Structure 1
Amino acid sequence: MSPGFVFRWLGWPFRYAFSKIKKKIGKLDRLRLEVFLALSNGTEVLVKGRVVEAYRQSRPSSKKSALQNILATLRRYAGSSVPDARVRVQWGNFEEVLITDSEGVFESLLRLPSQGETVSDVIFLTLIPEEGLVPEKEHVERKVRRIDSFYPRAVISDIDDTVIISKATNLGEKLWLSVSKNAYTRRPFPGVSEFYQLITRAGRYPVYYVSSSDWNLFDLIRDFLEYRKIPRGPILLKDAHVNLKNIWKSGGGNHDHKLEKIRFLMDFFPQQRFLLIGDSGQHDPELYAEIVREFPGRVEAVYIRRVGKKDPEREKVLNELLSPNQVAWVKTTAEAMQHAKKHLTFS
């Protein structure tokens, strides 16, 4: 008898209990097709989403109690990802079938038709039914967001402890905030809305949010930005699937995926110059320094919110790569706003 068989046999009561808990808190016997991105640079369209077990979820509200928010979080993380599911992408006369990876994620770069051909600005996605795979909806529509390269500036921003108060360096506080609050009760740093409205000219310049949070939090982040009147934009999160068994890992682990996603944005929009905004709580200064090295002349300025004490040795790297007018280490959003008004141009 193999050790693997023994462990599987011993673990079946826990798996059975876990499946019962998932059903109790709202998991449905259907699959949900979620579309996160349909982003165009005028030449290609990035389509990205995932397939997960569907769950019941009510709209968030500022009146929800901590217990109600905890139950909503359990529902959010109850569904397992679905690998090897087939998703049909239809865009005008174009059609492609994508296969989800081990995390239930699918992604594709679609080429725009040649000049002169008309194309719809809506992409239709369908989860192809198979034995045991029952879609929640017949199909999902997503409007393509086109961002042209003529914008003089774009913003790439972290989320946790940059826009939203997350306490990412304290696991206990971070987990409590994550499970007990919702999109309407999570708090931004003071002045964030005004600062982002300023640097994006009230949302006219594009902003991309790149975070180590997992895709389970996509709708929370989207609703939070809208509710707090922070300019919305494409949200790029970590592909690793997090569920009730490893919810404490959400937002942690390796942050190299952020570097990969920022590189993608720099390549996808080669004419744009960027502001990079982050915090010193994790690895944003080091990641942004690498981007400055790899894409000389493409970074207009870097804003880093200091978490904890000043670290001259750590700050030295960015300070040597950019001029003093291009780097701001700040404790408050008001300091960042003051720097932007003094050193950035707003055409």
Structure 2
Amino acid sequence: MATKRRSALREADKLDEVSIEPFLAFGNGKELFVKGRVISPYKQSRPRSKNNWLRNVLAAVRRYSVVTLPGLKVRISLGESEWEVETDQDGVFEAMIPEPNERIDQVTFQLEPIPRTRVKNGFLEIQRFFSERGVISDIDDTVLISHSTDIGKKLWLSVSKNAYTRRPLPGVSAFYERLTRRGEFPLFYVSSSDWSLFDLIRDFLRYRNIPQGPILLKDQHINLKNIWKSGGGGHYHKLEKLRLLFNMFPAMRWTLIGDSGQHDPEIYHEISNEFPGRVLAVFIRVVNPSKQEDRIKQRLEKYPEFFFVENTEEAIDIAEKQNLF
């Protein structure tokens, strides 16, 4: 362990600056889930809708050129209470910590000192949720047009476009506004995109006026050598994220939204079986009709909470009939 620590500090010491990039801080009043990563910072000008594909590709190169730093200690402070965690092999850290009796609205993250290296620490405002209902949505081809079933198209879109030039699925903003009753119910996003796309997804949601919410992505470091894997691989990490949310908010009943291209139907079916009575409705957008998708649809349509739709208008019509608004 001591050897691993020394190695981690030597790697960090080679950099001029190291930065904590905080991602999540949400709680239920009793416990708080926090997540972030430690990376070499990168300079990124704010994207613009007028940027051409070359500018966007260069921005993607900078995004995926960051160095992630494993084995470093991060101190998490909540009021007068502190916890220490260590970054994993991808530079990611997370913790579930008890909330103090007094209400604290901000959590801070501080990296251990590194000789000759500037350290940029971070903080997040805490989100707390207490409602009886919630919404969980996939992102690719559910909110954001991604062509996830075509690796080449998906990769080109992810590097040649930015937060202001990527296109949403028509009608998604209005649909989610109604499902969340304009913020009364929380909305969580669970996706197989990697954490390097966190800022792009966040800015995209803001720019397109799509309701905000915690974004839970895949714990896999993507760099320039393996960028083609972005959004690929297994998708059952989503099941872990769903279990986290279902267990953390035991009084909530959920509406789940996804597409047929990345195993969302099977994953949502499994979570529905694990937590009987907790799923109000499942909306699956049919991406690319095929024999395999037809088999999945025929198998799951017998469950009253599953609805396979071709567009948002169809989903809205069903949601109205199910009294979800």
Structure 2 match to 1:17 = none
Query: Residues of 1 paired with 2:81 and 2:254: CA distance?
Result: 32
Residue of structure 1 aligned with 2:248, choices 255, 268, 272: 268
TM-score normalized by structure 2? 0.92
Largest Rg, 1 or 2: 1
Query: Residues of 2 paired with 1:223 and 1:32: CA distance?
Result: 20
Query: Residues of 1 paired with 2:201 and 2:99: CA distance?
Result: 29
Distance apart, 1:29 and its partner CA: 3.0
- Share of identical aligned residues, percent? 54
Query: Residues of 2 paired with 1:332 and 1:190: CA distance?
Result: 8
Alpha-carbon RMSD: 1.3
Structure 2 match to 1:316 = 298
Distance apart, 1:80 and its partner CA: 1.7
Are the equivalent residues in 2 in contact too, given 1:214–1:241 (CA < 8 A)?
Answer: yes
Structure 1 match to 2:285 = 305
Structure 1 residue 251 corresponds to structure 2 residue 231:
yes
Structure 2 match to 1:241 = 221
Structure 1 match to 2:5 = none
Distance apart, 1:60 and its partner CA: 1.1
Query: Residues of 1 paired with 2:203 and 2:255: CA distance?
Result: 23
Are the equivalent residues in 2 in contact too, given 1:289–1:317 (CA < 8 A)?
Answer: no
Are the equivalent residues in 2 in contact too, given 1:156–1:209 (CA < 8 A)?
Answer: yes
Per-residue displacement from partner, 1:126-167 (whole Å, max 9, x unpaired)?
A: 1112236431x2x3221111111xx23211100000000000
- Matched residue of 1:285: which SS? helix
Query: Residues of 2 paired with 1:184 and 1:96: CA distance?
Result: 38
Per-residue displacement from partner, 1:229-261 (whole Å, max 9, x unpaired)?
A: 111000000011001111110000011110110
Structure 1: 5+ residue runs without aligned partners? Answer: 1-27
Are the equivalent residues in 1 in contact too, given 2:133–2:253 (CA < 8 A)?
Answer: yes
* Partner amino acid, structure 2, of 1:129: P
Distance apart, 1:63 and its partner CA: 1.2
Structure 1 match to 2:86 = 99
* Partner amino acid, structure 1, of 2:182: A
TM-score normalized by structure 1? 0.86
Structure 1 residue 89 corresponds to structure 2 residue 73:
no
* Partner amino acid, structure 1, of 2:166: R
Structure 2 match to 1:29 = 16
Structure 2: 5+ residue runs without aligned partners? Answer: 1-14
Are the equivalent residues in 2 in contact too, given 1:123–1:144 (CA < 8 A)?
Answer: yes
Are the equivalent residues in 2 in contact too, given 1:91–1:119 (CA < 8 A)?
Answer: no
Query: Residues of 2 paired with 1:73 and 1:54: CA distance?
Result: 14
The total of aligned residue pairs comes to 309
Per-residue displacement from partner, 1:59-96 (whole Å, max 9, x unpaired)?
A: 11111111111111000000121001111111111011
Query: Residues of 2 paired with 1:176 and 1:248: CA distance?
Result: 10
Structure 1 match to 2:189 = 209
* Partner amino acid, structure 2, of 1:213: S
